[in-house]
């Protein structure tokens, strides 16, 4: 249809024209569009009927109905009409395929449709190698950009990427890209206008770059908008969920009511000025917060803590000495030292209205009633009682709380306990003050010091509350098992009241007067409905328990009560009697038997006596001698002091070879071995000196040691026996182990006065000044 001129230039042709609105058709592009204007419909019909090509050119302004030649772009596309579909309302849907660019020259005819005179534009034929390479480079660049463009979510049909990669002609390539990307109409027309292939490629690169930039910014905006929406939606959902949960739990309150209530409390309670200012400030912050903000609950719980402390609540102390004495005696047997001290305290308090004074520390083995006497002191004084155990506390924050900046912070246990006591002047029991330890998280002992020091505890500051709180009216009592491990500065502020282990007779009395009635009541039995004979109780003490206090004893009695309750219900018996004979029915087989004690005189085995945190204990020490080269071995549980004393003991023994009538070269030819069996409670101290020497001498001479003797005493290099401590505890431990003879340093003779008569009556003592005195009594004499 086009005629080639002599120089290969295409000749002008006249053909039907359709002016396009909002659309640019490129060569090689297959596309359908709808035509509705009369002239356009006529032009299309003419082409179909005559099999002619059509000239498609884009209108500059879409609004113009009948465009003049100046109203259309100069460059358009000659296309083939491939298919026509009639649509309702005189509209045609035309499928065309672009063929080549053409420039419009003039309108040859206007009626019934425009016939345009156009000059087709020939495809370029490149011969310049350098140009070719440049075009190739541009094409690659465009491919990259196009992929990027597609990956940014631009609407590009899947197969297009593939089709494009197949195209080799640079001009066609640029056209395909321009026709396939959703770019502005003007940009499309600019590409169409571009006749030079290289320029066209360059233009497409620029357009793609611009589009990519736009898409990227678009995406950024979209994602940040999305994030914001996501976040607020999430919070919204969570908040709604929280509301539902709170409603389910019955926790919803009207916020305003709540604020009003807090405000009222802050105004009415006798808060300190500082506390009131802080609470008001935080309440004001809380009111300003957006509803549902998580910060609100943090502020609310802080204000709640402040207003729930017992500001200004003091109980009136009952200072009636007689009444106090009565109550203390009612609850506890013995413990006279403690009771006397409390009465003194009350008397002073009555004369001088001042609580100041050292902090009482009740020290003694477990189960001797330290906690429970503190409880009855509170009862006697009509005070509120709170207890806090310091065992295992290593973190200062446990005592003094975490700062509020810490997520989930709460006040420390001192403030929590005060809240629980609901009184500014309760009796506050600090249990196991010797069991605190310190580590990298701070020193709890120094925090305790601030709690206990009467000079400064009127302004105790919890980290969480961060306001001064007055602890000076609180009556602190502490307990400890082992006073040697109480941090020194705390120890200096305390008055130690030692509570010793109980003797069997004391235990019997405690059981009869206190534990039995208490346990009977706890199990719903009348005290008269159960009788346990004294002998049975003694058996429980000896065969079912081995302790300094009465905890296990109380537990065994509770076991009896349970069985008795079953019997009463089952048989309807009015009274249950427990005797030595039927004890087993209630408690099963004894946990200890006589076998536990060393029953035979044995070579190298000696019963020592140790004093530990849980009271006195018997401590078997074993020694053996084996052929060797003079080495010494110490095994088992020996503390440093005990090791030193073992070495001293060995030197003493080595110096005694002649006296013991042993061969003089025995030192070089034997190894000595001392073993202290491990027990649950660590033991240390010098008081096992004589015990170890005795064991070694027995092992060397092969003469057995008396099993019915226990001993204690420090030894010097010259064999002297030195005074030691803890005589009462050790004596009771020996008795618990069924041993009735004790070898003691002579210098300890005076201490025997501490022993209750009942204990002294059951024991005989041997006093030693030199190791020879010990050996003479402990080692069985050679027979014959």
Catalytically active residues are 687, 730
State how far the Cα of 597 lies from the Cα of 599, in Å rounded to an integer: 6
Instruction: Using CB under 6 A, pick the residue from 190, 514, 673, 730 that binds ligand ADP.
Output: 514
Can you give the C-alpha Rg of the chain in angstroms? Answer: 52
Instruction: Using CB under 6 A, pick the residue from 131, 372, 437, 762 that binds ligand ADP.
Output: 372
Q: The tokens of 406 are what?
A: 């810490």
CA 348 to chain centroid, in Å, comes to 47
Q: What is the DSSP letter of 160?
A: H
Give whichever of 375 and 567 is closer to ligand ADP, judged by the CB atom.
375
Instruction: Using CB under 6 A, pick the residue from 91, 371, 602, 637 that binds ligand ADP.
Output: 371
Percent helix, strand, coil in the chain (nearest 5)?
A: 45, 20, 35
State how far the Cα of 454 lies from the Cα of 472, in Å rounded to an integer: 6
161 near 227, Cβ under 8 Å?
Answer: no
417 near 410, Cβ under 8 Å?
Answer: no
Residue 706 is a binding residue for ligand ADP (CB under 6 A): no
Give the N- to C-terminal CA distance of the chain in Å, as an integer: 150
CB of 334 to ligand ADP, least distance (A): 5
CB of 368 to ligand ADP, least distance (A): 5
Q: What is the three-state SS of 733-776?
A: HHHHCCCCEEEEEHHHHHHHHHCCHHHHHHCEEEEECEHHHHHH
Residue 387 is a binding residue for ligand ADP (CB under 6 A): no
Give whichever of 478 and 748 is closer to ligand ADP, judged by the CB atom.
478
Instruction: Using CB under 6 A, pick the residue from 21, 101, 276, 370 that binds ligand ADP.
Output: 370
Give whichever of 362 and 474 is closer to ligand ADP, judged by the CB atom.
362
CB of 361 to ligand ADP, least distance (A): 12
CB of 549 to ligand ADP, least distance (A): 6
Of 249-257, 362-370, 377-385, 644-652, the window that binds ligand ADP (rule: CB under 6 A) is: 362-370
Instruction: Using CB under 6 A, pick the residue from 67, 120, 366, 412 that binds ligand ADP.
Output: 366
Whole-number Cα distances in Å, 98 to 53, 103, 163, 355, 695 = 10, 14, 16, 107, 118
CB of 532 to ligand ADP, least distance (A): 16
State how far the Cα of 642 lies from the Cα of 621, in Å rounded to an integer: 12
Give whichever of 94 and 335 is closer to ligand ADP, judged by the CB atom.
335
List the Cα angle 76/77/80 in 5-degree steps.
Answer: 150
* Residues in 408-427 at the binding interface with ligand ADP, rule: CB under 6 A: none
CB of 522 to ligand ADP, least distance (A): 10
Count CB-CB contacts under 10 A for residue 602.
17
Report CA torsion sign: 556, 560, 561, 563: positive
Beta bridge partners of 93: 34, 85
List the Cα angle 763/769/775 in 5-degree steps.
Answer: 70
Give whichever of 262 and 550 is closer to ligand ADP, judged by the CB atom.
550
Pattern 530-569, binding to ligand ADP, x per CB under 6 A? Answer: -------------------xxx--x---------------
Of 314-322, 366-374, 414-422, 773-781, the window that binds ligand ADP (rule: CB under 6 A) is: 366-374
Pattern 424-453, binding to ligand ADP, x per CB under 6 A? Answer: ------------------------------
Give whichever of 510 and 734 is closer to ligand ADP, judged by the CB atom.
510
State how far the Cα of 44 lies from the Cα of 32, in Å rounded to an integer: 13
Residue 333 is a binding residue for ligand ADP (CB under 6 A): yes
Of 128-136, 367-375, 670-678, 727-735, the window that binds ligand ADP (rule: CB under 6 A) is: 367-375
Give whichever of 202 and 501 is closer to ligand ADP, judged by the CB atom.
501
Alpha helices in 101-169 (DSSP H): 129-151, 158-166
Contact residues toward ligand ADP (CB under 6 A) are: 332-335, 366-372, 479, 510, 514, 549-551, 554
């Amino acid at each position: 249809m086009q005629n080639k001129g002599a120089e290969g230039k295409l000749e002008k042709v006249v053909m039907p024209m359709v002016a396009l609105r909002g659309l640019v058709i490129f060569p090689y592009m297959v596309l359908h569009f709808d035509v509705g204007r009369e002239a356009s419909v006529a032009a299309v019909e003419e082409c179909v009927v005559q099999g002619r090509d059509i000239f498609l050119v884009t209108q500059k302004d879409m609004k113009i109905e009948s465009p003049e030649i100046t109203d259309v772009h100069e460059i358009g596309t000659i296309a083939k009409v491939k298919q026509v579909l009639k649509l309702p309302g005189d509209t045609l849907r035309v499928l065309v395929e672009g063929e080549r660019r053409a420039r419009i020259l003039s309108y040859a005819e206007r009626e019934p449709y425009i016939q345009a005179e156009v000059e087709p534009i020939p495809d370029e034929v490149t011969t310049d190698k350098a140009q070719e390479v440049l075009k190739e480079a541009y094409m690659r660049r465009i491919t990259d950009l196009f992929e990027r463009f597609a990956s940014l979510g631009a609407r590009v049909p899947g197969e297009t990427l593939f089709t494009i990669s197949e195209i080799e002609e640079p001009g066609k390539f640029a056209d395909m890209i321009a026709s396939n990307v959703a770019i502005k109409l003007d940009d499309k027309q600019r590409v169409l206008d571009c006749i030079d292939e290289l320029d066209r490629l360059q233009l497409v690169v620029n357009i793609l770059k611009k589009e990519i930039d736009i898409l990227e910014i678009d995406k950024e905006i979209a994602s940040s908008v999305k994030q914001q929406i996501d976040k607020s939606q999430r919070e919204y959902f969570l908040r709604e969920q929280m509301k539902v949960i709170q409603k389910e739990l019955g926790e919803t309150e009207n916020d305003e009511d709540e604020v009003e209530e807090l405000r009222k409390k802050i105004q009415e309670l006798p808060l300190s000025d500082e506390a009131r200012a802080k609470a008001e400030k935080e309440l004001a912050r809380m009111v300003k917060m957006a509803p549902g903000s998580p910060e609100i609950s943090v502020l609310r719980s802080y204000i709640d803590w402040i207003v729930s402390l017992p500001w200004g609540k003091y109980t009136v102390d009952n200072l009636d000495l007689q009444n106090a004495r009565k109550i203390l005696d009612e609850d506890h047997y013995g413990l006279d030292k403690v009771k006397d001290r409390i009465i003194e305290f009350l008397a002073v308090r009555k004369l001088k209205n001042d609580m100041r004074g050292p902090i009482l520390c009740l020290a003694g083995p477990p189960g001797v009633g330290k906690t429970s006497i503190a409880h009855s002191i509170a009862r006697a004084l009509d005070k509120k009682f709170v207890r806090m155990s310091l065992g295992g506390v290593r973190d200062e924050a446990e005592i003094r709380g975490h700062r509020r900046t810490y997520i989930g912070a709460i006040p420390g246990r001192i403030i929590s306990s005060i809240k629980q006591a609901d009184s500014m002047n309760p009796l506050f029991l600090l249990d196991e003050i010797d069991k605190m330890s310190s580590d990298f998280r701070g020193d709890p002992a120094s925090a305790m010091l601030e709690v206990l020091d009467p000079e400064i505890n009127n302004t105790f500051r919890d980290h969480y509350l961060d306001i001064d709180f007055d602890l000076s009216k609180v009556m602190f009592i502490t307990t400890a098992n082992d006073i040697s491990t109480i941090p020194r500065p705390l120890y200096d502020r305390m008055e130690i009241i030692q509570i010793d282990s109980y003797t069997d007779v004391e235990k019997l009395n405690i059981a009869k007067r206190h534990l039995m009635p208490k346990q009977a009541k706890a199990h719903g039995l009348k005290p008269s409905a159960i009788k346990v004979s004294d002998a049975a109780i003694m058996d429980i003490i000896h065969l079912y328990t081995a302790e300094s206090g009465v905890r296990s004893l109380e537990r065994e009695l509770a076991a009896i009560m349970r069985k008795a309750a079953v019997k009463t219900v089952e048989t309807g018996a009015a009274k249950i009697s427990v005797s030595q004979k039927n004890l087993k029915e209630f408690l099963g087989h004894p946990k200890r038997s006589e076998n536990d004690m060393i029953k035979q005189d044995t070579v190298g085995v000696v019963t020592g006596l140790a004093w530990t945190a849980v009271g006195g204990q018997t401590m078997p020490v074993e020694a053996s001698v084996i052929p060797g080269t003079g080495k010494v071995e110490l095994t088992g549980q020996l503390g440093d002091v005990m090791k030193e004393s073992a070495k001293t003991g060995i030197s003493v023994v080595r110096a005694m070879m002649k006296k013991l009538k042993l061969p003089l070269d025995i030192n070089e030819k034997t190894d000595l071995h001392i073993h202290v069996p491990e027990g649950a409670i660590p033991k240390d101290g010098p008081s096992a000196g004589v015990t170890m020497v005795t064991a070694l001498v027995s092992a060397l001479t092969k003469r057995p040691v008396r099993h019915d003797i226990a001993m204690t005493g420090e030894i010097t290099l010259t064999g002297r026996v030195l005074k030691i401590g803890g005589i009462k505890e050790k004596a009771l431990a020996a008795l618990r182990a069924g041993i009735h003879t004790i070898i003691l340093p002579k210098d300890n003779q005076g201490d025997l006065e501490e022993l209750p008569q009942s204990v002294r009556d059951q024991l005989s003592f041997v006093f030693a000044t030199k190791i020879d005195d010990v050996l003479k009594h402990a080692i069985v004499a050679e027979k014959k």
